Chains A and B, each alone.
Chain A
């Protein structure tokens, strides 16, 4: 389900597809996790984890997508956005947050967050914890962690820096043609 983006692979991708699949188990519908890594279901990308459990990282990535769902944006971008939580400094709080999230999922009758098939059901679980510090920290972090990735901008049509190209004076600042 996840296509690799040419030239935009996240750092930390160090496993071959075969290595990956031989060492992994499914985590939810989108991810596979193994010892110390989480990867997309198609093994298009993988990320090693050092401080938090790979299942927790998979949960974070899914949570990130459910908070700011863009169907045209690949999982890599969400993975990069939450990668920083895999640190010794953050591990305890992140694991506690994931436990809180899974508890909310269980309370809603699911096995855990990642096993919920429909986005709207996962959103209902997020709603239950959205007032808490964990949710708000993850959400606030995504505002820059996700949307400030330059590689993501073209997906939204945003062109970024323009000074080096001479601005738009001769490159379509007034080229609207449908009014």
Chain B
């Protein structure tokens, strides 16, 4: 039975956003008997609704509300209104993600200690470490059904992977596999069907083979009778009382009417642009710089991973679009080895785009035969994506723009400049990626610039000391005890790994903490 809570019920936990952070947190709390109202800006779409068509799916799922951009990153020029390719729907970006589920490497929890101070970077150590996170990672891997963890076998490699693997092995790489994926690899011991190698992982898995909160954690939470998800509910402001405790949220409901939902605790999980935006838009006379912002760190240290893609063209067909979008990984370069000219490391992961998105992202703005002769060989193309640790910088930040959205609320402006370490890493990765394809006989290969960001991190970061960040090691804001950060914006640093598994592990851990503290009466 799906719960229905009163707007004035101030015993509920309000969670803003239902993706990897909010969706998991909502279910985990509901399982523990905590009453939860989850407010989701988007609508509800399930596997039968997903569309095997890139642009149609993009219209259905992508967050297309206004945002603005600034800075020297190329996304600001090519996709000025679309700094991120993330999802506005129940389940959030877990509908869109490719499923790569990697734990941080141990040293990445201690970036400042490991790398030393880097000029221009605002590096910090996380206030938690690998030993602390290990049991939560295990729970997260079990929840997501991650391949190559537990007793779960790996997925078979598709054509794109086979090209990638052969080139990587020829270069001497050792850590080459079809990766750890939150995609079902077997029909045994799971409620999810095994991967049918359909492609279109980015467009929502129509088989439900890939884990998404939309059709796992959300309905599981609802089944407890403790979780109410209100879709198409856009939170405008978090309110507080004279003691500086948050009391609930104002939101526009599906009909566009402003409502107030009372809350005992508010957890913010709107992804790395919307979460700081909401804190800033909630400024008051008591908190003139925005909620939880006495450190002036809200919105700062935005990270997006050092990314880019490499495509290779061969003299024979590859048909890279067939099968899982992210079908394999090379992890040898993920180590920290400053002899390469940069700190931190990167992963190489196969990636495939359909023809329509390849045309849009191969080299945005380019035209003429240099561009079209590459597309002419689309069928003979193989592709990979770079995911590397980028440096947090206090000037890379989300601020409030002068522009407003459909509700009259100030939108997020996203400013980003590459750090020299990011540039050195990307160039290294481009070179290695192209070498992989050259080793298999590519007749042409090329580095493709970063797409609108899918990994958005750091704008409400976790810190030991209140002056260095926004929240503590539980995601609890330093300034307001009953306000939590529950999404990727709490990341202190980004590590080289795709962030979803870590967001999920932190959400499971946070649920445990919140339920315990609620029971103890301390929040």
- Real binding pair: yes
Interface hits, B366-380 → A, CB 8 Å? 367-369, 371-372, 375-376, 378-379
Interface hits, B348-383 → A, CB 8 Å? 354-356, 359-360, 365, 367-369, 371-372, 375-376, 378-379
Known A160-B354, A168-B322; contact A173-B316, beta-carbon cutoff 8 A: no
A161 within 8 A of B: yes
Please count the residue pairs between chain A and chain B whose beta carbons lie under 8 angstroms apart in the complex: 112
**5 closest cross-chain pairs (CB), A and B:** A157-B379, A167-B198, A167-B196, A173-B323, A147-B359
Whether B368 pairs with A70 at a CB distance below 8 angstroms is no
Chain B residues near A89 (CB, 8 Å)? none
Q: Is the interface of B mostly helix, strand, loop or mixed?
A: loop
A174 within 8 A of B: yes
Whether A174 pairs with B323 at a CB distance below 8 angstroms is yes
B466 within 8 A of A: no
Whether B162 pairs with A176 at a CB distance below 8 angstroms is yes
Whether B322 pairs with A156 at a CB distance below 8 angstroms is no
Chain A residues near B196 (CB, 8 Å)? 166-169
- Please give the distance in Å from B505's CB to the nearest CB on chain A: 30
Contact with B along A68-110 (1 / 0, CB 8 A): 1110100000000000000000000000000000000000000
Q: Which residues of B contact A (CB under 8 A)?
A: 52-53, 55, 156-159, 162-163, 166, 195-200, 206-207, 316-319, 321-323, 354-356, 359-360, 365, 367-369, 371-372, 375-376, 378-379, 440
Contact with B along A115-143 (1 / 0, CB 8 A): 00000000100000010000000010001
Given A161-B52, A176-B319, 15 further pairs, Cβ under 8 A: A69-B372, A139-B367, A143-B359, A146-B359, A156-B375, A156-B378, A159-B319, A166-B198, A168-B158, A168-B199, A169-B195, A174-B157, A174-B323, A179-B163, A179-B166
For A179, give its contact among B162, B198, B322, B376 (CB under 8 Å). Answer: B162
Q: Identify the closest chain B residue to A157 (Cβ).
A: B379
Chain A residues near B359 (CB, 8 Å)? 143, 146-147
Q: Is the interface of A mostly helix, strand, loop or mixed?
A: loop
Whether B158 pairs with A157 at a CB distance below 8 angstroms is no
* CA A159 to CA B321, docked complex, whole Å: 8
For A168, give its contact among B198, B317, B318 (CB under 8 Å). Answer: B198
Chain A residues near B319 (CB, 8 Å)? 157, 159, 172, 175-176
